Amino acid sequence: ENVRTRESESERERARESERARAHEGERERERAHERERGRARESVRTKESERERAHERERGRARESVRTKESERERAHERERGRARERAHERERGRARESVRTREIESECERERAHERESVRTREIESECERERAHERESVHTREIERVHAGQSASE
């Protein structure tokens, strides 16, 4: 009777041990599943961050191209203005060509000096205006980038 009791207890102990092992294996499998899920979540965050950075870079590229286009348009407008100024100066010179030789020489020299001075002043004004516009555009692009980054951070929080 004692032998059968010990065998029965031994079988029950083996059954309990087997049940504990199954429970332990189930717990390990749940932990592995959780780790896989955490890995997928980290990868999803990295993917979204990467996509956000690529979108920001595309926007910065568009902004840089916009600045270059505006600068190019401004430069063409300034060149047209310089061309018109040269033509007006030439027209004045042609009108004076009908005057006496000495007067024409004196007037021509004076006009060249005045035109040079006007052109120099206008060029400085144009360059100053361009620099202000470029600074404003850089500030505007920087502000938009900061707002997008803040908006992206707020959304991810």
Q: How far apart are CA 20 and CA 12, in angstroms?
A: 12
State pTM to two decimals: 0.34
Neighbours of 106 (CB within 10 A): 13
Domain ranges of the chain: 2-156
Q: How far apart are CA 92 and CA 71, in angstroms?
A: 31
Tell me the average pLDDT across 112-132.
85
Output the CA angle 21-26-30, nearest 5 degrees: 150
Residue-wise pLDDT tens digits, 1-12: 776 777 788 898
Is pLDDT at 104 greater than 70 in this prediction?
no
Residue-wise pLDDT tens digits, 36-82: 999 999 999 999 999 999 999 999 999 999 999 999 999 999 999 99
Kindly indicate the confidence band of residue 98, based on its pLDDT and cuts at 50, 70 and 90. Answer: low
> Nearest CA to 145 among 61, 48, 44?
61
Kindly indicate the confidence band of residue 153, based on its pLDDT and cuts at 50, 70 and 90. Answer: confident
Q: Which residue has the higher pLDDT, 155 or 80?
A: 80
